Amino acid sequence: MDASHFEHFALKIKIWIEDEKGSVVFGAGRLRILQAVDRLGSLQAAAKELSMSYRAVWGKIKATEDSLGQPLVARRAGGTRGGGSELTPLGKALVERFQRLQTLTETAADDLFQGVFTERDRD
Amino acid sequence: MDASHFEHFALKIKIWIEDEKGSVVFGAGRLRILQAVDRLGSLQAAAKELSMSYRAVWGKIKATEDSLGQPLVARRAGGTRGGGSELTPLGKALVERFQRLQTLTETAADDLFQGVFTERDRD
């Protein structure tokens, strides 16, 4: 195999967490939802930004909360319009750790790709 | 974050190779196609086993061949029924290296998952 073929290619990677039954616990889609809720302070606003229904956004969050047995999102106290949501400490930790895991995994995968596909021919 | 939440979960990972334009060069689906051709000695038999059309199987192989500028599959010489296909050395090398990359990346990702999600709480 001629390594030069692969010099201009990139390895892509997608990661997600599953439970024992093979159901998704968390992944890139739910990360985007939690990030939007954190930034916008509202499930409704997050849903709008992500072009999803409120029901779909809430369903994804609820599914992860059920897997973990603890809330990721809480009603925000006070506020002039008396509403809004914010991430719980668990929600914030999940966002931070999953992002970190994504970055670390991408870096590791890219290093392995370079090693496996640009090493000198053995065949 | 309580690490015990994640003890029974597994990190799942999908990898694929893209070119500069973001087109897929190779991935798990094409790996399965080449493995089936290698084992069955025929694109037609591979297509049947994978419940794909011959046209779809050939199209996927052709797309990767076009990206690499070299054939992955060649007509098999001889044989009692005078037909069949086999992988070229490049085709075999691609199968072997992509499988190796998958295994290495899965192992690395799993180690990172354990490290990031079961480390002692910092929050």
3-state percent helix, strand, coil for chain A, nearest multiple of 5 = 55, 15, 30
Mean pLDDT within A30-42: 97
Between residues A78 and A29, which one has the greater pLDDT?
Answer: A29
Q: Which positions ≥6 away from B84 have C-beta within 8 Å?
A: B41, B42, B75, B76
**How far is it, in rounded angstroms, from Cα A91 to Cα A75?**
13
- A8 vs A111: CA distance, rounded Å: 14
Q: What is the ipTM of this complex?
A: 0.88
**Backbone torsions φ then ψ of B43, nearest 5 degrees:** -70, -35
Give the three-class secondary structure for A81.
coil
Is residue B54 pLDDT above 60, yes or no?
yes
pLDDT of B97 > 60? The answer is yes
pTM as predicted: 0.87
pLDDT tens digit sequence for B1-18? 776 778 889 999 999 999
Mean model confidence pLDDT for chain A: 91
The span from the CA of A43 to the CA of A11, in Å, is 34
**What's the CA gap between B11 and A17, in Å, rounded?**
5
Interval B65-94 mean pLDDT: 87
Q: Which two tokens stand for residue A38?
A: 């954190």
Residues of B whose CB is below 8 A from A11: 15-18, 101
Cross-chain Cβ contact B18/A1 below 8 Å? no
Please tell me the least confidently modeled range out of A13-27, A77-91, A94-108. A77-91
Q: Which residues of A touch B (CB under 8 A)?
A: 1-2, 5-6, 8-20, 25, 67-70, 89-90, 92-94, 97, 100-101, 104-105, 108-109, 112-113, 116-117, 123
Secondary structure (DSSP) of B57-83: HHHHHHHHHHHHTS-SEEEPP--TTS-
Please give the domain boundaries of chain B with CATH numbers for all domains.
23-116 (1.10.10.10)
Q: Of B84, B85, B50, B52, nearest to B71 (Cα)? A: B85
Looking at the DSSP bridge assignments, the partners of residue A13 are: B15
Instruction: Please state which of the ranges A36-40, A119-123, B47-51, B114-118 shows the lowest mean pLDDT.
Output: A119-123
**Which among A14, A94, A117 has the least Cβ separation from residue B97?**
A117
